[in-house]
Amino acid sequence: MDFKSLKAYEKAFELAMDLFEISKSFPREETYSLTDQIRRSSRSICTNIAEAYRKRIFPRHFISKLTDSDAENAETQSWLQFARRCNYINETDFKNLTNQSLEVGKLLNYMINNPGKFGARVE
């Protein structure tokens, strides 16, 4: 199995790409703040999943990287709230993106709580 076939990775990648597309319409003055931050945090969800999967022979490292991914997911949700409150995204997009993020969070928590099912050597 490759990390790219993990459901959490697939969903996180989809979220990051959706955020990339929608953030293209953010105001120019947000380029180095909100736009950059929401893109970075959403992409970090994926990259931390990839790193976690490669470190799965060390269960503590695996879980640590997954919790980093979960933290980036929470950060992304926070940036989404700012984007909504500033009226950069509409309510429908906000709800859809937030629901995607919540789904990613559930998948990450399942992985964190069941590392053995993902190849981590649980003692």
Question: What pLDDT, in 10s, does the model give residues 6-26?
Answer: 999 999 999 999 999 999 999
**Chain segment 58-101, per-residue pLDDT in tens:** 999 999 999 999 999 999 999 999 999 999 999 999 999 999 99
- Contacts by residues 49-55 (CB-CB < 8 Å, ≥ 24 positions apart): 49/3, 49/6, 49/8, 49/9, 49/12, 49/108, 50/3, 50/4, 50/9, 52/111, 53/3, 53/6, 53/9, 53/118, 53/119, 54/3
Residue range 40-53: mean pLDDT, rounded:
98
**Chain segment 53-70, per-residue pLDDT in tens:** 999 999 999 999 999 999
Q: Is the pTM of this model over 0.85?
A: yes
CATH superfamily of 3-117: 23S rRNA-intervening sequence (1.20.1440.60)
Per-domain residue ranges of the chain: 3-117
